[in-house]
Chain A
Amino acid sequence: GESVGLHLPTLSVQEGDNSIINCAYSNSASDYFIWYKQESGKGPQFIIDIRSNMDKRQGQRVTVLLNKTVKHLSLQIAATQPGDSAVYFCAIQGTDKLIFGTGTRLQVFP
């Protein structure tokens, strides 16, 4: 079956620096990928998505990169702010459901 894994359980960055969170997936047929942010005590919140026919998509301060050759996905956050502190999940849209990775905790220090 499909699986999703993140490379690092915790990432610590200084406020103002850029953050990069990485994710690997197993199924080369996956065609839709989503990044979620989950703050403590809350449900996951959609950040940005990308389809398999693209290799890059940009939002406000966030960029998602997709490398289908090595089945790798990354989320880049520019000028990281304290409010970005949360757990970040990549997810694959499987057949009628989302398949989540284990998450990376982003810690932002002043």
Chain B
Amino acid sequence: DTGVSQDPRHKITKRGQNVTFRCDPISEHNRLYWYRQTLGQGPEFLTYFQNEAQLEKSRLLSDRFSAERPKGSFSTLEIQRTEQGDSAMYLCASSLGSGADSEAFFGQGTRLTVV
């Protein structure tokens, strides 16, 4: 257990439905990241927060995706009007600062299946 928790662990939803995932980072970590991982691939960066500010969003994060970190603690990732291509593992990570000597700790992920 890395100290980063994600909920739910698994989510099956019908195409067109909205889903929301939650991430609770390690409490003193100011940075929080969302990644997406499809089968057989490495994690791909989606977005990150420093405290409550969302500082970067990947091109992968379409208009249907929105992430928040309202109080600089937990974060939510919402996907609206889900599509089958959204099926993936959504990983959250947190760190204290960035770069070398700022190890990112990953949660167990939320596996989304869109049917």
A interface residue numbers (CB < 8 A to B): 4, 9, 31-32, 41-46, 49, 51, 89, 91, 93, 96-103
Contact = CB atoms under 8 A, between A and B. Distances in A.
A83 to B, nearest CB: 17
Contact of B100 (A42, A44, A89, A93): A93
Contact of A89 (B42, B98, B108): B42
A43 B42 contact: no
A6 B34 CA distance: 23
A41 B44 CA distance: 17
Contacts of A32: 99-100
B interface SS class:
loop
Interface of B: 2, 4, 33, 35, 40-45, 48, 55-56, 91, 93, 98-100, 103-109
Contact of A101 (B33, B42, B45, B106): B42
B55 A96 contact: yes
A100 B43 contact: yes
A96 B99 CA distance: 7
Given A9-B40, A43-B106, A98-B104, 10 more contacts: A43-B4, A43-B107, A43-B108, A43-B109, A44-B43, A49-B100, A49-B103, A89-B42, A97-B48, A98-B33
